[in-house]
């Protein structure tokens, strides 16, 4: 005991019923601890005995050994949590031996376990009307997390960071139940940025009088990204890749160039988008804005069966279409007239696994069509590519042989928030967020409106039914009339929220102030950083809102399909901290065979040239060998089977599954059901 006493830095005392816990520490480590009993004497309180703990056993020591220990300790500390009367007793006892002691604020949980853990205003964590040390707070947080299920390292680190920042355990654990404490849920803020660009005056443009007058009736000056595009030849026929955030005015660049060329008899304008819903929306906008100057037509995927009620006119001045709708026209030898301008919206789709190769092939086939006589002068078609999110803009611009127009302005700041909730709690949280947004108006006089992104059509309806304020589901399963009604109601501020699938995120034009991620998945795939950035960019419009707000509602230890390797809490912080992925088109064997077959169908012997200039690297020799093996081509001409396969956008495995079902005499419904089941597995 005497050797230990000489080495003791701190002797710590804490009330323990009628007794006192005693702990000896050196270099932050506990040397031993025990229980001190006092007795009352005529001279005042004195040590009765010291019981030193050793695991589950105790060793009885004499009172003199405690006094010797106290005299040799560098300092003696008494827990502030010790009751005043008990504190006075221990002080009186120590004073009798001329031993000084100081009362300090300590962690009760540590003290109760015989550990000395002083806390200050900078380190104290509040919980249940008391203060504890950070280590005990972490342990309690860990217990809460274990109760909720597994949680990723990044999510745990975030919660611990908040715990030390706000010093309130209850506030932090409330986040695990979907509580909306904005000081805690806020992850960061993407500031509004303004690049200095001299605006181009609209009256200085040298456009066709019809387009010139139209623009002058709407604007005095162009927005910065529009001004940059004009300065670099957008209205002079130059090919451009325009990369700029949502709501910065990219679309008008394509409109200015395309409509002007139409009015100057330089060929039809094609405006191409990835989704039917977006094509319908753009078609209506073009009709409203330019219908008195040009004929506008619509060509979407459904045009393979019927021309959307007769809205497709191949001789129209402007054709708004989906990638698939125009590609089908090329694959089946339709005449698109003379094409003067092609605008490819959402060109970052080139990087998507499922649709990237098809857009890559479409661009190559459409360029071949234009060069082969489908342009006013061979090779004279202007190409404008638009995107809000590209991780490798310079490389992509080179691959597309276009001038890069990159503008990094964000018109309004965006706050990004993270909170934790399970599936049931998420809807309750969404109710609160939608209500809070809609109950407030911006300085421009607009109510806050919300887009909720989720991962299935069924979930869209489930959420929409349970929101207290007016809302509507919005997904590809709705017909065009219903979608247009939702768009109109949202624009008129008759809806507080729309609930949509992540698959419809690209380009859908809802002027929302708030975006909520009910799920971080698109179907059974986790969102990429690019998709996430595209979707959160829908929050906040400069003409409507003062800022945008994004909420990620994260379910710890959750995945939506057994093929998903990560959990939602892991994905959340990967998305928040991740860098934009480069747009790269990758070809597996099936994609290479599908695009090479389409190129053979469109260009015959020129198919290799079409393959060679695509953005992705296509193994042409291998693909041609497979096409011959599958009897999809004969020489460099498609067989009747090959034409059927490419006409219906079938991958080789899908074609063989169909053929197998037909040969077995299966009912068409059975064949489709088998194909759906195969896709799921």
Q: How confident is the model at residue 662 (pLDDT cuts 50, 70, 90)?
A: confident
Is 655 part of a structural domain of the chain? yes
Q: Tell me, what's the pLDDT at 311?
A: 58
Same domain for 568 and 495: yes
Same domain for 634 and 511: no
Q: Tell me, what's the pLDDT at 194?
A: 67
Same domain for 307 and 211: yes
Domain boundary among 577, 612, 632: 577
pLDDT exceeds 80 at position 506: no
d(CA 351, CA 398) in angstroms, rounded, equals 15
Q: What is the pLDDT of residues 568-619, one digit of tens each?
A: 888 998 999 888 889 999 999 999 999 999 999 999 999 999 999 999 999 9
Q: How confident is the model at residue 378 (pLDDT cuts 50, 70, 90)?
A: very low
Same domain for 158 and 231: no
d(CA 44, CA 90) in angstroms, rounded, equals 10
Q: What is the pLDDT of residues 67-87, one digit of tens each?
A: 988 988 888 989 888 889 998
Q: How confident is the model at residue 306 (pLDDT cuts 50, 70, 90)?
A: very low
Percent of the chain past pLDDT 90, that is, above it, reads: 51
Average pLDDT over the chain reads 88
Same domain for 599 and 456: no
Buried b (16+ CB within 10 A) or exposed e, 259-272: bbbbbeebbbbbbb
Q: Tell me, what's the pLDDT at 308?
A: 46
Is 119 part of a structural domain of the chain? no
SS (H, E, C) 482-505: HHHHHHHHHHCCCCCEEEEEHHHC
Same domain for 393 and 364: yes
pLDDT exceeds 90 at position 674: no
Query: Within 13 A of 377's CA, how many CA atoms are on the CB side?
Result: 3
pLDDT exceeds 50 at position 92: yes
Q: Tell me, what's the pLDDT at 340?
A: 96
SS (H, E, C) 210-237: HHHHHHHCCCCECCHHHHHHHHCCHHHC
The angle, 0 to 180 degrees and rounded to 10, between the axes of the packed helices 323-331 and 640-647 is: 160
Same domain for 540 and 456: yes
Q: What is the pLDDT of residues 328-371, one digit of tens each?
A: 999 999 999 999 999 999 999 999 888 899 999 999 999 999 99
Same domain for 420 and 366: no
Domain boundary among 544, 577, 610: 577
What mean pLDDT do residues 150-161 have? 81
Give the domain CATH number at 507: 3.40.50.300
Query: Could you identify the residue written with the tokens 């003791």?
Result: 8
Domain boundary among 577, 601, 626: 577
Same domain for 318 and 442: no
What mean pLDDT do residues 435-441 have? 95
Same domain for 214 and 356: yes
**Local structure of residue 546 (DSSP, 8 states):** S
Same domain for 387 and 421: no
Is 193 part of a structural domain of the chain? no
Buried b (16+ CB within 10 A) or exposed e, 191-218: ebeeeebeebebeebebbebbbebbeee
Is 195 part of a structural domain of the chain? no
Is 456 part of a structural domain of the chain? yes
Number of domains in the chain: 5
Is 190 part of a structural domain of the chain? no
Q: Tell me, what's the pLDDT at 511?
A: 86
pLDDT exceeds 60 at position 310: no
Same domain for 648 and 631: yes
Q: What is the pLDDT of residues 385-429, one digit of tens each?
A: 999 889 899 999 999 999 999 988 777 899 999 998 887 789 999
- Are the beta carbons of 240 and 233 closer than 8 angstroms? yes
d(CA 661, CA 674) in angstroms, rounded, equals 9
Phi, psi of 40 (to 5 degrees): -90, 130
DSSP assignment of 651-680, as one string? -HHHHHHHHHHHHTT--HHHHHHHHHHHHH
Q: Tell me, what's the pLDDT at 301?
A: 67
Is 668 part of a structural domain of the chain? yes
Q: Among 98-107, 183-192, 298-307, 533-542, name the one with the lowest average pLDDT.
A: 298-307
Is 521 part of a structural domain of the chain? yes
Q: Tell me, what's the pLDDT at 111?
A: 81
Full domain range(s) for residue 600: 589-677
Confidence (pTM): 0.74
What mean pLDDT do residues 628-636 have? 93
Q: What is the pLDDT of residues 138-148, one digit of tens each?
A: 998 888 888 77
CB atoms within 10 A of CB 641: 14
Q: Tell me, what's the pLDDT at 384?
A: 98
What mean pLDDT do residues 88-104 have? 92
């Amino acid at each position: 005991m005497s050797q230990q006493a000489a080495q003791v830095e701190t002797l710590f005392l804490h009330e323990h019923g009628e007794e006192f816990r005693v702990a000896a520490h050196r270099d932050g480590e506990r040397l031993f601890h025990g229980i001190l009993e006092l007795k009352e004497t005529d001279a005042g309180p004195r040590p009765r005995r010291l019981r030193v703990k050793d695991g589950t056993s105790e060793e009885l020591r004499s009172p003199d050994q405690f006094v010797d220990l106290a005299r040799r300790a560098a300092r003696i500390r008494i827990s502030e949590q010790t009751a005043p009367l008990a504190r006075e007793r221990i002080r009186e006892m120590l004073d009798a031996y001329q031993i000084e002691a100081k009362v300090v604020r300590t962690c009760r949980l540590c003290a109760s376990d015989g550990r000395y853990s002083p806390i200050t205003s900078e380190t104290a964590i509040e919980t249940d009307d008391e203060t504890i040390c950070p280590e005990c707070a972490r342990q309690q947080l860990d217990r809460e997390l274990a109760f909720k299920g597994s949680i990723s390292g990044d999510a745990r680190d975030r919660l611990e960071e908040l715990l030390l920042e706000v010093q309130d355990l209850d506030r932090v654990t409330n986040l695990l139940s979907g509580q909306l404490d904005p000081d805690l849920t806020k992850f960061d803020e993407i500031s509004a940025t303004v690049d200095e660009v001299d605006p181009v005056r609209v009256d200085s443009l040298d456009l066709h009088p019809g387009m010139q007058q139209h623009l002058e009736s709407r604007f005095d000056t162009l927005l910065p990204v529009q001004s940059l595009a004009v300065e670099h030849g957008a209205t002079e026929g130059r090919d451009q890749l325009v990369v700029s955030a949502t709501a910065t005015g990219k679309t008008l660049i394509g409109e200015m160039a395309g409509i002007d060329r139409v009015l100057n008899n330089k060929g039809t304008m094609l405006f191409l988008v990835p989704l039917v819903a977006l094509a319908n929306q753009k078609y209506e906008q073009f009709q409203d804005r330019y219908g008195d100057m040009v004929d506008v037509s619509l060509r979407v995927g459904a045009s393979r069966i019927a021309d959307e009620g007769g809205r497709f006119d191949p001789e129209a001045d402007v054709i708004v279409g989906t990638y698939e709708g125009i590609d089908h026209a090329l694959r089946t030898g339709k005449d698109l007239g003379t094409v003067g301008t092609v605008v490819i919206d959402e060109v970052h789709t080139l990087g998507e696994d499922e649709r990237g190769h098809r857009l890559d092939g479409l661009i190559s086939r459409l360029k071949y069509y234009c060069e082969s006589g489908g342009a006013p002068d061979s090779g004279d078609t202007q190409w404008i590519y638009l995107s809000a999110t590209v991780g490798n803009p310079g490389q992509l611009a080179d691959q597309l042989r276009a001038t890069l127009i990159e503008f990094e302005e964000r018109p309004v700041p965006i706050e990004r928030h993270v909170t934790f909730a399970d599936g049931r709690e998420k809807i309750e949280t969404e109710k609160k967020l939608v209500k809070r947004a809609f109950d407030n108006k911006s300085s421009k006089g607009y109510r806050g409106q919300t887009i909720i992104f989720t991962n299935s059509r069924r979930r869209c309806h489930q959420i929409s039914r349970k929101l207290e304020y007016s809302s509507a589901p919005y997904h590809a399963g709705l017909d065009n009339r219903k979608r247009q009604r939702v768009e109109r109601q949202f624009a008129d501020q008759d809806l507080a929220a729309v609930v949509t699938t992540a698959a419809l995120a690209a380009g859908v034009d809802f002027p929302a102030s708030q975006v909520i991620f009910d799920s971080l998945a698109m179907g059974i795939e986790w969102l990429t950083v690019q998709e996430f950035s595209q979707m959160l960019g829908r929050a906040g419009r400069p003409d409507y809102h003062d800022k945008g707000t994004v909420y990620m509602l994260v379910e710890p230890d959750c995945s939506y399909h057994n093929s998903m390797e990560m959990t939602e809490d892991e994905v959340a912080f990967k998305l928040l901290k991740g860098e934009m992925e480069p747009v790269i088109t990758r070809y597996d064997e099936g994609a290479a065979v599908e695009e090479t077959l389409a190129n053979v169908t469109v260009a015959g012997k020129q198919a290799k040239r079409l393959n060679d200039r695509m953005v992705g690297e296509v193994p042409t020799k291998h693909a041609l060998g497979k096409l011959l093996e599958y009897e999809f081509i004969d020489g460099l001409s498609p067989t009747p089977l090959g034409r059927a396969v490419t006409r219906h956008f079938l991958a080789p495995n899908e074609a063989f599954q169909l053929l197998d079902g037909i040969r077995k005499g299966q009912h068409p419904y059975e064949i489709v059901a088998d194909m759906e089941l195969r896709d799921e597995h």
